[in-house]
Amino acid sequence: MTLPLNIGIAGLGTVGAGVFGLLAAEAPTLEQRSGRRLRVVAVSARSRDKDRGIDLSAVRWHDDPLALAADPAVEVVVELIGGAEGVARSLVEAALARGKPVVTANKALLAIHGTALAEAAESAGVALAFEAAVAGGIPIVKAIREGLAANAISRVFGILNGTSNYILTQMQEQGRDFAAVLAEAQSLGYAEADPGFDVDGIDAAHKLALLASLAFNARVNFPSVHVEGIRHVSARDIAFARELGYCIKLLAIARLTPLGLEQRVHPCMIDADSAIAHVSDVFNAVVVEGNLADRTMFSGRGAGAGPTASAVVADLADIASGRRAPAFGVPTASLKTLAASPMAAHVGPYYVRLMVSDRPGVIADITAVLRDERISIASLLQHGRAAAPGQSVPVVMITHETVEVAMLRALERIAGLDAVLEPARMIRIEQL
Amino acid sequence: MTLPLNIGIAGLGTVGAGVFGLLAAEAPTLEQRSGRRLRVVAVSARSRDKDRGIDLSAVRWHDDPLALAADPAVEVVVELIGGAEGVARSLVEAALARGKPVVTANKALLAIHGTALAEAAESAGVALAFEAAVAGGIPIVKAIREGLAANAISRVFGILNGTSNYILTQMQEQGRDFAAVLAEAQSLGYAEADPGFDVDGIDAAHKLALLASLAFNARVNFPSVHVEGIRHVSARDIAFARELGYCIKLLAIARLTPLGLEQRVHPCMIDADSAIAHVSDVFNAVVVEGNLADRTMFSGRGAGAGPTASAVVADLADIASGRRAPAFGVPTASLKTLAASPMAAHVGPYYVRLMVSDRPGVIADITAVLRDERISIASLLQHGRAAAPGQSVPVVMITHETVEVAMLRALERIAGLDAVLEPARMIRIEQL
């Protein structure tokens, strides 16, 4: 006969209410799998009266989430408030300070304060669990931290933002531009009214910082993530990508380089035949490259009430079962401080599209700049003629491996050429 | 200061030697991740003198694996001998009887004796860990048992045998027939001299029985798995599959039906655009369908020294960290005894290819039989004419959802038609 695990949930949005309902509806099964009953004893949210479709009559209500952390009946705190600062942060700190394990879906909080919170959890001897913070229903945190623990990981990358992937998929399938697809996604509820966190790459960067810490046993270093979003991806570039055998995805990539840890989120061209190129719509995927397991890929739904609740409850089952691992795979004192490999030192092939005047000598001028920067061209595409004098035509180039600083210098010089009529579009090619 | 975890390894083939070498080479990292040093203290194998590229001078040698289990210095036994009976079984039973946790890659042993061994482990209060037994380097056992523990799973399926998948991929890419590709795979070392376990579906069936037990918290029921291999898949059927938008894979599928648990391994036609259709060569993949996480897919290398060692050492890290879960997700007393949903009751679409005389009335005779069995045809393909009188032409049909017993009756009657010149080829279509 074991005692139930008494849970306090802070935040009763769709995920919080989903977790609450699930723990009630599936209590017997979850008890079998966890070894203890998972019992919600207290909740906290903004409005007590809102109809969430769940029966709160048997649990204690706290207007103040900090009071939930202090509630002596609460053994584990589930933080589903969100935000890197403010109430969510105070709540998690208060719970850990009281020696209570915390389960959270809060990627922003952990991306910024993850190492400090892991230290607090370790001092208290309790778990800081965040499966729900990365890739929703895909158990990728556990996979990297435990399932692949024997591996030296060299690269981890993935599609970590469903909204961006949905938009890029629609752009690709319909040949439409970003703004039109975003507007439609917003009207369908697939994108927020303020889509910046998603389409500007910030959400993916938060998650990448956590994956990188897990994969490389390093201190979380979100400020070093190079972040670019998808606003500048155009239907024209997607069409060229297809013609060249590529597909454009917003990838989040962390890898070890001779200079340290490279972390970056940006649109990538990837081989259209690769497995991750087939991960479309709102789906997420993570690829882990380890020295023993080689390449493993994990895909599924990265957001939504069900997938997020799946991850939160899995974390609760771990806590109930007494299964614990250090938040980022090793004790915090062993977490490495890896130098940030600067983006200027990034090496890889590049896609560059220029809009130029349709007249003799233009290609010669452009390729002379590239030659000066020792950039080697793997292929060059020029289609058709200008519709009218003075109109521009696209010139597309794929380079061999190039260091980014040289590419940026070349693009700056190319921008100064008379015949180049629009800013160049550069998309990094990721070799899989 | 914690004590090392003292390990005994029985079986020093490529996997055993790989695990041994890895534990030595990566000792500091693995200690950080596991919380304890993972130290091999004893080994057992057939020949002491064979050169395995590892230094055995500091460990105790046991000619008899049972002596390894009895060795008081050994705290955990790693069984890498293989085989469902004999020494491997005795060793695992002996280790558990002595209260020692067991890590094994032995799918055959667990498929046949899994429930009994899980009971023995539970009585002893120790782990029976088998991540390496299913899908090699993909941490799918942990994913289902822990990562997706909150889900009610309705179906789990996958490509679980790399050799078969390699052969089917080569057949598809080269348009060659099974026998030729098998012979080549054997000469390249991708297939065993006796390929039956792989190409006849038995290996996949062993793994499926374990996945099904984990996914449905049911007693392992290998004898109820319906097993068909790939020997009868022909280049001709692969070509028709492609024309119809399908691809042929050897899938292992377990799902709940109104009659109980359906477990089956057989060639399937699946949508050529589906994610799992892109899992080629020796790669494995597992798809789990849960009520919360929806569909998650896990892919990677299913065999080989590195991937298998990755899984074995992850299990050792769990044991060293004190992380434990019941072998099949719940205490053995709670494992369900699910009725085997009979294959005759299977419902799904079917692909049928007949070789018929090229003369009037043949299609009418065939479709009359199908009508009598209430089998509805979704599409029918008939290409070209016979090259010479008396020669056969293929007729291909895709049916709507049909119950298998009706399909088998229809095929038996069709086989009796004068115009049908060869045994029909039937391939089930799996809807993803």
For the purposes of burial, counting CB atoms within 10 Å of the CB of B199, is it exposed (0-12), middle (13-18) or buried (19 or more)? buried
Q: What is the model's pLDDT at position B388? A: 76
Specify whether domain B140-301+337-343 bears CATH 3.50.50.60. Answer: no
Nearest CB neighbour to B293, from listed A146, A293, A300: A300
The boundaries of every CATH 3.40.50.720 domain in chain B are 5-133
Measured in whole angstroms, how far is the alpha carbon of residue A432 from the centre of its chain? 18
Half-sphere exposure of B32 (CA within 13 A, CB side): 22
Contact check, Cβ <8 Å, B152/A26: yes
Identify whether the C-beta of residue A22 lies closer than 8 Å to the C-beta of residue B292: yes
Q: What is the model's pLDDT at position B1? A: 57
CA atoms of A210 and A218, how far apart (whole Å): 9
Nearest CB neighbour to B292, from listed A33, A291, A306: A306
Contact check, Cβ <8 Å, B322/A318: no
The boundaries of every CATH 3.30.360.10 domain in chain A are 140-301+335-343
Of A266, A302, A273, nearest to A285 by C-alpha is: A302
Q: DSSP for B212-237, please give it.
A: HHHHHTB---GGG-EE--STT--HHH
CA atoms of B416 and B420, how far apart (whole Å): 7
CA atoms of B9 and A242, how far apart (whole Å): 51
Q: Vertex B256, ends B250 and B257: CA angle to 5°?
A: 105
**CB–CB contacts below 8 A, A to B:** 190
Q: Vertex A87, ends A84 and A89: CA angle to 5°?
A: 45
Identify whether the C-beta of residue A250 lies closer than 8 Å to the C-beta of residue A266: yes
Give me the residues paired with residue A264 across strands: A226, A253
Contacts of B247 in chain A (CB under 8 A): none
Compute the nearest-CA separation of B390 from chain A (Å).
44
In the annotation, is B207 catalytic?
Answer: yes
Identify whether the C-beta of residue A185 lies closer than 8 Å to the C-beta of residue A170: yes
Measured in whole angstroms, how far is the alpha carbon of residue A215 from the centre of its chain? 14
Contact check, Cβ <8 Å, A34/B149: yes
CA atoms of A402 and A183, how far apart (whole Å): 36
Q: What is the CATH number of domain B346-429?
A: 3.30.70.260
Tens digits of per-residue pLDDT, A193-247?
A: 899 999 999 999 999 999 999 999 999 999 999 999 999 999 999 999 999 999 9
Contacts of B147 in chain A (CB under 8 A): 131, 139, 142-143, 311, 314
Contact check, Cβ <8 Å, A299/B294: no
Confidence label for A1 from pLDDT (cuts 50, 70 and 90)? low
CA-CA-CA-CA torsion for B91, B94, B96, B100, nearest 10 degrees?
Answer: -80
Q: What is the model's pLDDT at position B308? A: 97
Tens digits of per-residue pLDDT, A112-125?
A: 999 999 999 999 99
Residue A185 has pLDDT above 80, yes or no: yes
CA atoms of A166 and A173, how far apart (whole Å): 10
Percent of chain A with pLDDT over 90: 94
Tens digits of per-residue pLDDT, A131-176?
A: 999 999 999 999 999 999 999 999 999 999 999 999 999 999 999 9
Q: What is the model's pLDDT at position A387? A: 73
Nearest CB neighbour to A146, from listed B30, B142, B296: B142
Compute the nearest-CA separation of B109 from chain A (Å).
22
Compute the nearest-CA separation of B298 from chain A (Å).
5
Q: DSSP for B92-121, please give it.
A: HHHHHHTT--EEE--HHHHHHHHHHHHHHH
By annotation, the residues of A acting in catalysis are 207
> Which is the CATH superfamily of the domain at B5-133?
NAD(P)-binding Rossmann-like Domain (3.40.50.720)
Helix (H) or strand (E) holding A98: none
Compute the nearest-CA separation of A26 from chain B (Å).
8
Contact check, Cβ <8 Å, A314/B29: no
Contact check, Cβ <8 Å, B34/A137: no
Nearest CB neighbour to A307, from listed B34, B294, B323: B294
Contact check, Cβ <8 Å, A307/B300: no
Contact check, Cβ <8 Å, B322/A317: no
Catalytic choice (B100, B107, B142, B207): B207
A352 token code pair: 């560059």
Of A348, A113, A321, A347, nearest to A223 by C-alpha is: A113
- What 3-state DSSP class applies to B154? strand
Which DSSP letter does residue A131 get? Answer: G
Which DSSP letter does residue A341 get? Answer: P
Measured in whole angstroms, how far is the alpha carbon of residue A430 from the centre of its chain? 17
* Residue numbers of chain B with a pLDDT score lower than 50: none
A43 vs A89, A130, A197, B344, CA distance in Å?
A: 17, 19, 28, 50
**Residue of chain A minimizing CA distance to B289:** A300
Alpha helix stretches (DSSP H) within A75-125: 86-97, 107-124
Contacts of A322 in chain B (CB under 8 A): 322, 324
Contact check, Cβ <8 Å, B32/A278: no
SS3 content of chain A, % helix, strand, coil (to 5): 40, 25, 35
- What 3-state DSSP class applies to A182? helix
Q: What is the model's pLDDT at position A136? A: 94
- What 3-state DSSP class applies to B407? helix
Helix (H) or strand (E) holding A335: none
Nearest CB neighbour to B293, from listed A275, A306, A318: A306
Half-sphere exposure of B24 (CA within 13 A, CB side): 15
Contacts of B317 in chain A (CB under 8 A): 146, 149-150
- In the chain, the amino acid numbered B227 is V
Contact check, Cβ <8 Å, A296/B299: yes
CA atoms of A266 and A109, how far apart (whole Å): 22
Ordered strands of the A5-10 beta sheet: A60-62, A38-44, A5-10, A76-79, A102-104, A128-129
Nearest CB neighbour to B33, from listed A275, A321, A330: A330
**Residue of chain B minimizing CA distance to A298:** B298
Contacts of A325 in chain B (CB under 8 A): 321, 323
Contacts of B310 in chain A (CB under 8 A): 148, 150-151, 290, 292-293
- In the chain, the amino acid numbered A293 is A
Contact check, Cβ <8 Å, A293/B310: yes
Q: What is the model's pLDDT at position B412? A: 97
Contacts of A331 in chain B (CB under 8 A): 32
Mean pLDDT of chain A: 96
Contact check, Cβ <8 Å, B307/A294: yes
Of A62, A41, A130, nearest to A92 by C-alpha is: A130
Compute the nearest-CA separation of A329 from chain B (Å).
6
**Residue of chain A minimizing CA distance to B306:** A292
**Residue of chain B minimizing CA distance to A146:** B314
Q: At what angle do helices B305-321 and B27-34 cross, to 10 degrees?
A: 40
pLDDT (mean) for A292-310? 97
Residue B60's CB is within 10 A of a number of other CB atoms, namely 16
CA atoms of A357 and A62, how far apart (whole Å): 67
Contact check, Cβ <8 Å, A30/B323: no
A216 vs A100, A289, A334, B65, CA distance in Å?
A: 27, 11, 11, 37
Question: Which listed CATH number (1.10.540.10, 3.30.360.10, 3.40.190.80, 1.10.3430.10) goes with A140-301+335-343?
Answer: 3.30.360.10
- In the chain, the amino acid numbered A66 is L
pTM (2 d.p.): 0.97
Contacts of B336 in chain A (CB under 8 A): none
B415 token code pair: 């086989």
N-to-C CA span, chain B? 51
Compute the nearest-CA separation of B79 from chain A (Å).
18
Contact check, Cβ <8 Å, A300/B292: no
Identify whether the C-beta of residue B275 lies closer than 8 Å to the C-beta of residue B298: no
Alpha helix stretches (DSSP H) within B244-324: 305-321
Confidence label for A389 from pLDDT (cuts 50, 70 and 90)? confident
Contacts of B276 in chain A (CB under 8 A): none
Contacts of B136 in chain A (CB under 8 A): 293
